[in-house]
Structure 1
Amino acid sequence: FSTKLVNLIVKSGESYPIKIEFKEPNANAHIQLVWRVLDQQKSDFSSALELARKSDLIVFNAGIEEGEFRDRAKLSLPGNQEPLLAELFKIGKPVVVLLTGGSAITMQPWLNKASAVLDLWYAGEQTGSAVAAILFGDANPSGKLPIGFPLSEGQLPYVYNHLPTGRGDDYNDLTGKPLFPFGYGLSYTQFEYSQLQLEKTSMKATDSIWVQCQIKNIGQFDGAEIVQLYIRDQLASLARPVMELKGFQKLFLKKGASTTVKFLIKAEQLSMLDEQLNTVVEPGDFRIMIGASSNDLRLKGTITIVQ
C-alpha cells in the first residue's frame, strides 16, 4: 500500500478539476480517493452558536473516524470540535456531549464543564433512537467500558491488568489513575453490593468454588447492572497481574429490588503458565473481588489453594 497526500485550499461554491494518474504493473490494482478537512482548518461557528442560544439543552455530537492510515498521535477530539465545544460552554446552558468512535478519547480540558457524556462507540442505524430514549429518560444506560480511558497520552500503554511494580503508578506531573477505568459505566440509578459469601475458603487445584453476593437497586429508577468478578494471585513463582477479570453478569432490577448473584470459580481460572510454559495452579492465596468496575471493587475475600 502507498498513500499520496496533497493539500488543497478550496472556496465554498467553487468546483475544482482533479486529475489522477495511476499505474500498477501487477494484477488486482485498486485506487481510492479520499479527503478530509485539515485539523487547522478554521470554521465559522456563528450558525451553530445561534442555534444553541435558542435551545434549552445543547447536544453536541462529537467523535473520531477509525480506519487504515488514520493513526493519531493525540487522543483528543480532532479538528475544530474542542474549540466549538468551548464556545458552546460559554453560552451557559447544559451541554450533553455524544462521542462516536472506536477507541479512547481524552476529555480533560472539557469534561467537568459538560452536563453529561454518552459514549456511543459505533452504534449503527438506530443510534438516534437509542440516544433519544436515554436523554428523555425512556431508557436507562447500563454499558461498561471494555477498555480504560487515559487522562493523557503520556499514560499509555494503560491496562487494568498490568503487572505489579515496586513503585507507585503516579507521574511527576500527573496521577497514574485513568480518566475512566476498565469496566466503568454510569446509570440513572445506584446499586448496593453486600453479603459476600464463599462456599469454602480453601480448595484443591482440581476443585471449584461458588461465590455469591447480594445486589440491591437503591436508586429511584429501574435499571441494569453488570456485576464484575476479579481475581488476584497474591504470591506466585512468576509475576502475576494485579487483577484479572474472571466473570461478569448483567442483571435487571426494579427500584428497591434485590437479588443474589453467583459465580462459579473453577481451578483453571486460577491457572498460569510456568517457566516451562506448562499450565499450572500453584498453591497459595487468591484475592476474590466483586464490584462495578476494576477501580470500584465493593466486596473482597480470599480463597486458598492447598496441595
Structure 2
Amino acid sequence: MQRNQSVKVLVADDSMVSRKFIRSLLEQHLFQVIEADDGIAALETLNENPDITLLITDYNMPRLDGFGLIIKVREQKSREELAIIGLSSDGDESLSARFIKNGANDFLQKPFVHEEFHCRVLTTLDALDMVTRLWEQANLDYLTNVFNRRYFFNLYEEKLNLIAQKKGVLALALLDIDFFKQVNDTYGHDVGDEVLIEFAKRLQHSFSQHFTVARIGGEEFVVGFKGLNVEKAYTLLDRFRMQLEVTPIATSKGSIDITVSTGVSEFSCDENVDELLNRADIGLYDAKASGRNVVCIAEGKPQKTF
C-alpha cells in the first residue's frame, strides 16, 4: 500500500461508468488515478504525464481503440517502462492473445471479480518492480547510485557511432578525488564511502540533468558531455572543481576538505570509448603531475582558473 501511493495509473475507457468503477477499485489501494475517455486522449495524457506506471485500457473506444493505443504506446515505451492491462467485455476468445501480442502485459475479461482485478494489477506491478531492480543492479553503481562502468561503455559505444555519423561533438571527462587513500587511512572506509556518495551527489546535481555521470571504479568518475566541445566542458568542470574546493563534505567524523583532479578530451570520429577515455586519462595524469586540484585538457597544458 505504501508503494501504491506513488504509482500513477491511467484508465482509458469511453464508458464513464466503467472508468469510475475501475477508479474506485484502484483508489481503495491508494493508487493515483487519471482518466481518459478514448485512445487519443490517453496518448495525450501519457505525453503530459511521463511518470505514469500503469495503463489500463478498454478494447472498444472511439477514435482510437485499445489495440491502436497499445501499438502507439509501445513505439515509445517498452513493457519494462510502462505496464499495460487490456480489458474487454467482447466475447471474442482471441482478444487475450491479441492484446498481449500487441504489447499488453496482461488482459482481463469484463465483468471481472474484484479480487482478481486487484491480483492482476499487483502482479503486473510486482513484475515491473522486479525488472526495474534487475536493471538497476546491472547498470547502477551499488554505492553511489550513479551509472556504472558497464552502462556508460554500452551507452557511449552507441552514442559515438551516431555522433560520428552526424558530425556532432562530445567531450569526456575523467575525475579522480585527490588523495582519497588518505581519507580511508585516516578516517576509515565507512567515511570514505560517505565521501564517495556525497561526491557523486554533487556530480549528479551539477551534470546529470543534461549529461551522463558514472562511477568507473574506486574514486574515479566519468562524465560524458554530449553536444559540448572540450572548451565548454572545461568551463563547467572547472566551476565544479572550484565549488568542491570551497565546500567541505560533511561526514560522521566531521567535515573533510576534498578536491578533484580532472582530465578532459574531445571525441575524434575514429575513436572508440576506450581510446577516448585513455586520452582523458592522459589529461588526468597531467592534472596530478601539476599538483592536483586542476582541470587539464588532454594533450594540452594544464589549465586552472584562479
Under a length normalisation based on structure 2, what TM-score does the superposition of the two structures give?
0.31
Under a length normalisation based on structure 1, what TM-score does the superposition of the two structures give?
0.31
Greater share of strand: 1
